[in-house]
Amino acid sequence: MADDASAHPDVLNATAQGQLKSIIERIERLEVEKAEVAEQIKEVFAEAKGNGFDVKVLRKVVRIRKQDRAKRQEEEAILDLYLSAIGEI
């Protein structure tokens, strides 16, 4: 009798099935960890808000700190140029 994998070429062999299952399980664990970290971040922002900090501005500071300094300075210079050109600054 023919092997099931050879009868159905679209079916993964046992090794590939094991690898696929392992990958999926790892992704699922990481998704759980990501949700836990997101909840912790939310709690830190709530704490900051409770201490009188502006959460919207804190998020912006975090985003800015992730950027490359030179790239950020270039973008800021262009922004200033554009705002100046339309009379906003």
- pLDDT 10s digits, 61-75: 999 999 999 999 999
Q: How far apart are CA 82 and CA 89, in angstroms?
A: 9
- Tens-digit pLDDT profile for residues 12-47: 899 999 999 999 999 999 999 999 999 999 999 999
CA distance 47 to 51: 6
pLDDT at 86: 97
The pLDDT of residue 89? 84
- The whole-model pTM stands at 0.68
Identify how many contiguous H helices and E strands the chain contains and give both numbers: 4, 0
Q: At what angle do helices 55-66 and 14-50 cross, to 10 degrees?
A: 130
Task: Kindly state the tokens that stand for 89.
Answer: 């600054």
Contact criterion met (CB below 8 Å) for 84 and 74? no
**In the prediction, which pLDDT does 8 show?**
64
